[in-house]
Amino acid sequence: MPFPDGFLFGAATSSHQVEGSLDVDGRGESVWDAFARLPGAIEGGGDASVACDSYRLWRDDVALIEELGLQAYRYSIGWSRVLPDGRGRVETRALDHYERFTDALLDIGVTPMITLNHWDMPQALMSHEGWVGRESVGAFAEYAEAVADRLADRVEWWVTQNEPWIIALLGYHLGLHAPGVADLGKSVRAAHHVLLGHGVAADVLHRHPGAKAGCALSLFPCDPASDAAEDVAAARGSDGYVNRWFLDPLLAKGYPEDMWEHYERALGEPLDFIRAGDADAIAGRSDWLGINYYTRRVMAHAEVTPQRPFPWRVVGPRGDVPRTDESWEVVPSSLTGLLLRLHEDYPDTPMFITENGGIYGDSPTHDGRVHDVRRTDLLRDHVLAVEAAVDAGADVRGYLHWSLMDNFEWAMGYRPRMGLTYVDYRTGERIVKDSGRSYAELIRNHAH
């Protein structure tokens, strides 16, 4: 496969999903700790108190990364570990832990990629409604400074925010994720403050020579259900809602006017919390773009109702199509198209696939191995989709599969399995799946 020299193959996780050990080294409570206590919030009633036990078993994770031959590993710092009270006191024991882990990766030749916010905001910051309050931006700057001062001398690639749209949609609009707020107006404010948080964190990182700041966006290509003009308009509107509302301000185009109008109409008030100078505080700070890609959205026109604030709805693809166990369509060609669209719309922006994967429930069979043929196929086909985009000129620097191992999948609990490695949650045992073995072979072939 003709990937460019220096292209990185790796995998990704996040702290809250794998670490466990929620009560050690002075860690403070996160919004997910509080959310998990709400009846019915987490499928199966679980929480992340054990997860994969990676905070304690971090050396095993490093050995696993080395066994798979990964060239890069994306992981997140526990925000609630570093600033237990949200602001002020910095917990050095947490930073010591992440420094040991980072150095261990570097010792085996793995490129670290650190995410600052992978959704585990300190619960203390809910005193001003979390990301709804502008105070969160200053708190995030404090946190970024504490982490960067410790690690930016040896880490090049940084993700400031993971999936701002999902934070806003599931955390503040639908209430399905922490902190469980269900208010469209608050979700728009939260999304804006998350982007401002990217800006201040990038400014902190850029004080350290060599540090490259990016934001990882959950991007969904939006295709019309038909050639009808109203469905085409619905797909364009959905693209503004999911993609352009975040891409444009990050990459120096400002908020898109069509989506601004949709929001003001739906809210019945101006977006006056977006202040003069905010656009400049977000734009021009992204050294690269992270892309979390899982599937596409097939859109049709729909009438606006009290329950549907925008004139579109997801209808899904027609016919029998490949799907994951969560019924998400598997469509690698949409990833190629997305990368080429980004290359055209936002030229000179290096890109990473910071997440890609699927939910498949395969478990060990009689021989003790996990024969996850569908994940193996998904991984191969999406790597080929990236290769096609690179061959056509897209500046993609790496592919990071989600996830290194099965883990706590947020509100879905422990049912979904997305790992290259199977985790027995009763014992903590890790079993590399066939997909992991196949990926290791792909990486070896690429390296030679």
Q: Which residues contact 65 (CB under 8 A, 6 or more apart)?
A: 11, 73, 105, 108, 110, 404
Annotation marks residue 163 as catalytic: yes
The structure tokens listed for 275 are 């202040």
Contact 112, 73 (CB under 8 A): yes
H helix intervals, 157-283: 164-166, 184-205, 229-239, 245-250, 257-267, 278-282
Q: Which residues contact 428 (CB under 8 A, 6 or more apart)?
A: 52, 53, 57
Amino acid at 256: P
Strand partners, 431: 422
Amino acid at 360: Y
CA distances from 390 to 306, 343, 396 (A): 44, 10, 6
Contact 72, 111 (CB under 8 A): yes
Q: Which residues contact 304 (CB under 8 A, 6 or more apart)?
A: 266, 310, 311
Q: Could you say which of 355, 409, 429, 441 is catalytic?
A: 355
Query: How many whole angstroms separate alpha carbon 234 and alpha carbon 412?
Result: 29
The structure tokens listed for 240 are 């503004």
Query: How many whole angstroms separate alpha carbon 193 and alpha carbon 184?
Result: 14
H or E segment and range at residue 299:
strand 297-301
Query: How many whole angstroms separate alpha carbon 448 and alpha carbon 311?
Result: 51
Give the CA-trace dihedral at 248, 394, 115, 380, to 10 degrees: 130
Q: What is the DSSP string of 337-374?
A: HHHHHHHHHSTT--EEEEE----------TTS----HH
> Where does residue 232 rank: exposed (0-12), middle (13-18), buried (19+ CB within 10 A)?
middle
Contact 296, 222 (CB under 8 A): yes
Annotation marks residue 355 as catalytic: yes
Radius of gyration of the chain (CA): 21
Q: Could you say which of 129, 163, 269, 303 is catalytic?
A: 163
The structure tokens listed for 365 are 């069979």
> How many other C-beta atoms lie within 10 A of the C-beta of residue 114?
23
Contact 400, 113 (CB under 8 A): yes
3-state SS assignment for residue 156 = coil
Active site residues: 163, 355
